[in-house]
Amino acid sequence: MEETERYKRGWEIIERVDGQAGDRVMENVGSISPDMARFIVEFAYGDVWSRPGLDLKHRELVTTSALITLGHCEPEMKVHMNGMLRVGWTREELIEVIIHLSVYIGFPSALDALRVAGEVFAEADAG
Amino acid sequence: MEETERYKRGWEIIERVDGQAGDRVMENVGSISPDMARFIVEFAYGDVWSRPGLDLKHRELVTTSALITLGHCEPEMKVHMNGMLRVGWTREELIEVIIHLSVYIGFPSALDALRVAGEVFAEADAG
Amino acid sequence: MEETERYKRGWEIIERVDGQAGDRVMENVGSISPDMARFIVEFAYGDVWSRPGLDLKHRELVTTSALITLGHCEPEMKVHMNGMLRVGWTREELIEVIIHLSVYIGFPSALDALRVAGEVFAEADAG
Amino acid sequence: MEETERYKRGWEIIERVDGQAGDRVMENVGSISPDMARFIVEFAYGDVWSRPGLDLKHRELVTTSALITLGHCEPEMKVHMNGMLRVGWTREELIEVIIHLSVYIGFPSALDALRVAGEVFAEADAG
Amino acid sequence: MEETERYKRGWEIIERVDGQAGDRVMENVGSISPDMARFIVEFAYGDVWSRPGLDLKHRELVTTSALITLGHCEPEMKVHMNGMLRVGWTREELIEVIIHLSVYIGFPSALDALRVAGEVFAEADAG
Amino acid sequence: MEETERYKRGWEIIERVDGQAGDRVMENVGSISPDMARFIVEFAYGDVWSRPGLDLKHRELVTTSALITLGHCEPEMKVHMNGMLRVGWTREELIEVIIHLSVYIGFPSALDALRVAGEVFAEADAG
């Protein structure tokens, strides 16, 4: 069944990109709205992230840039900053992205992102 | 003089990334506020874009992702979509970035970006 | 006196729509700025919410949709999610609104709203 | 095939809600990115709009409220203001929504929406 | 009657701050929604702008800073940039505000504001 | 050396405007990214804030208006609300700015700013 393939394909990418943090987010979402959780797996990951036109590393760079620019979604920002580190970006590169974005979104939003990155690093170190 | 080096360094990057579109934007800015134009060359390009931690190709990807997410700065969006094509991304990859962002910023902002991309391609084809 | 009627009319709607949560918000506002509290009662509720052109149930749907889209005003989002339940929407319908909005504002803002809705439901269950 | 059903279901809703304006938008989108057009039909309309938990009239109210709040997507705002009129809301109700939103998003964004509504009415009158 | 005083008081401030541009905006608004026009005169100008706690010059500085930060309301941005010049700010000071804001909202939004300011100056020069 | 003068000039302004709160923010920033901290001192304060075209009191008014409008950067909002009080604005004037902004950004964002102002005042009173 087509449905199942989209779901399976999506879930495989969540595991690779977001790891346990992704599991936890999806569990929380699913406990309030199983349909919303299914749409994220099937559409966001199964349909879009799985497309061949851009690799996972660049998709995570685009995702994190968007979340830093949006500014008000810290839990998702954290998941995808962690995702950046998981798919091969270094901590230095993540900070470089934040410095670069300060030109385009202003320093306050960039400083908020820097603080979130600091928390991501501290949690990883406390591991 | 330090000042001059920052300016020269910044201008070299504008030329490489934005080409004539960059020239035109900087001229327009300079005709209203030469100081603002100088800050963009010295700080945005001379200080930030010139840093070694991320190459120009990825800086332009981050920049365009931020501008598509902001949504309301179409002239700048156009300059940097053109910039993406200049530093080595393909039209297909730019569209893939827009499709990917629809997950994170919603379809209306993504559709606006797609329309702007269509204009960028048409202008390039018209030469 | 006209002034008093606008105030009285506004306060009656706050009581009906927001209940005790509205009382608490207005008390907090009033303790810092009584004038701001008065403007909210007189203008927002007395002038606008009391107009006949749209009933309270639809006004609360529009309000909550706007707050979920704004994204960064969680205390107000909570008051009006509670308001939706008070004026006759079900929990399932509130979640349906959030799922629907994910198409227009992206999944991260929708996920934040879903988390806030989960808190609203938990607080209501805890009574 | 599941895929085809989602697409067919989505397209039926676009026809009912957006009419010819929807056709034109989807054609424009499809001419730049057929995949993006397909995602909008399949996911936005086929998966989400077609759900039973909220009727089309209320989905269009939520959609338009979100677009007015976002502020920068005028072409989409226009399509869905037209959609509101098509699914049974009156011009007076649409204006009432805009007046109501001025409380939550401020007068400038509301005034922009009012201007767009004026254009929608004028185009409808010109037939 | 209290109502009439609020309206009269508001309209006097619109005349002083926005001049003919204010007249034109209010006429346009009133032609689509007389009630919305009345709320702007009574509440925005009659209740808020007329308060003694901050003078007109500083209120217009705060207003224009907010509109530049919002980014997507160009017609209103134009009215209030004109307003700044009318209540005593110079062109140089308006540009200085835009340069200052580039630190807090990023260069793209600041560049859009600079372009709008350039149009305001050109229209004033054309008389 | 030009570099050192920009840095020294910037740091002097941070001390005057933000006091100990500024020190603490810059320390936090510097512990994650010394380069980002340096850019804020050199560019934001050394280049922009130090310009003669607008005095510190008005720059802080513009800054705080922008941060209240952005809405999602509470730590920075707090620093600059404190800054407003340090450069000569009164608590009443800060609240007046928030009331004024409710017209332009809507009540929810204004209410969030009012709550942050209440925290700033309470912390100042607690000494």
pLDDT tens, position by position, F64-90 = 999 999 999 999 999 999 999 999 999
Q: Which residues of A touch C106 (CB under 8 A)?
A: 70
Alpha-carbon span C19 to C12, nearest angstrom: 10
ipTM over 0.90 threshold: yes
Q: Which residues contact B121 (CB under 8 A, 6 or more apart)?
A: B91, D32
Q: Which CATH architecture has domain C53-127?
A: Up-down Bundle (1.20)
Q: Count Cβ neighbours within 10 Å for each residue of E72-89 and write b for 16 or more, e otherwise.
A: bbbebbbbbbbbbbbbeb
Average pLDDT rounded to a whole number, residues E48-62? 98
Going by pLDDT thresholds of 50, 70 and 90, the confidence category of residue B1 is very low
- Partner C contacted by E2 (CB < 8 A): yes
CATH class label, B55-127: mainly alpha
Q: Please give the DSSP secondary-structure letter assigned to residue C87.
A: T
Mean pLDDT in chain C? 94
F94 touching chain C per CB within 8 A: no
CB pairs under 8 A between C and F: 50
Q: Which residue of C has its CA nearest to B107?
A: C104
Q: How many percent of chain F have pLDDT more than 70?
A: 98
Taking CA–CA distances from C108, the nearest residue in chain B reads B104
Q: DSSP string spanning chain B?
A: -HHHHHHHHHHHHHHHHHHHHHHHHHHHHHHH-HHHHHHIIIIIIIIIIT-TTS-HHHHHHHHHHHHHHH-S-HHHHHHHHHHHHHTT--HHHHHHHHHHHHHHH-HHHHHHHHHHHHHHHHHHHH-
Q: CB distance from E39 to chain D under 8 Å?
A: yes
How far does F41 lie from chain E, in Å, by closest CA? 12
Mean pLDDT computed over B21-26: 86
For the segment C31-57, the average pLDDT, to the nearest whole number, is 97
Give the mean pLDDT of chain B.
Answer: 94
Q: How far apart are CA B101 and CA B123, in angstroms?
A: 23
pLDDT tens per residue, range E6-53: 999 999 999 999 888 888 889 999 999 999 999 999 999 999 999 999
Q: What is the rounded distance in angstroms from the CA atom of residue D119 to the CA atom of residue D99?
A: 17
Q: Which of E14, E18, E25, E36 to mutate to test the interface with D (most CBs of D within 10 A)?
A: E36
pLDDT-based confidence at residue F3 (cuts at 50, 70, 90) = low
Q: Which residues of E touch A108 (CB under 8 A)?
A: 104
Distance from CA of A111 to the nearest CA of C (A): 17
Res F24: pLDDT? 87
For the record, the structure tokens of A76 come out as 């998702």
pLDDT average, residue stretch E76-92: 97
- C102/B contact by beta carbon, under 8 A: yes
Taking the domains of chain E in order of start, what are their residue ranges?
Answer: 1-51, 54-127
Query: Given CB atoms, is C72 within the 8 Å cutoff of chain E?
Result: no
Query: Which is higher by pLDDT, C10 or E2?
Result: C10
Which of D28, D31, D33, D80 to mutate against chain B (most B CBs within 10 Å)?
D33
pLDDT class of D1 with cuts at 50, 70, 90: very low
C62: Cβ contacts below 8 Å, ≥ 6 apart: C54, D61, D65, D97, D100, D101
Residues of chain A with confidence (pLDDT) below 70: 1-3
What's the pLDDT score for residue E3?
A: 57
**Which residue in F95, F108, F109 is closest to C33 by CB distance?**
F95
More confident residue, E3 or C34: C34
Reading phi first (left if > 0) and then psi (alpha if -120 to 50, else beta), residue A13 is in alpha
List chain A residues with CB under 8 Å of F71. Answer: 72
If you search the block for the tokens 């200085």, which residue do you land on? E96
Q: How far apart are the first and last CA of chain A?
A: 39
Residue D4: predicted pLDDT: 84
Whether residue B37 is predicted with pLDDT greater than 80 in this model: the reply is yes
Do E33 and D71 make contact, defined as CB atoms within 8 angstroms? no
Q: Please say whether the beta carbons of A100 and B48 come within 8 A.
A: yes
The CA distance from C126 to the nearest CA of chain D, in Å, is 26
pLDDT (0 to 100) of residue E25:
87
What would the two tokens of residue B119 be? Answer: 């204009």
Topology annotation, domain F54-127: AhpD-like (1.20.1290)
- Asked if the model's pLDDT at residue C2 lies above 90, the reply is no
Mean pLDDT of D14-31: 89
* Least CB–CB distance from A66: residue in B53, B58, B65: B65
Lowest-confidence segment of A81-95, B101-115, D10-24, F87-101 by average pLDDT: D10-24
A88: left (phi over 0), alpha (psi -120 to 50) or beta: left
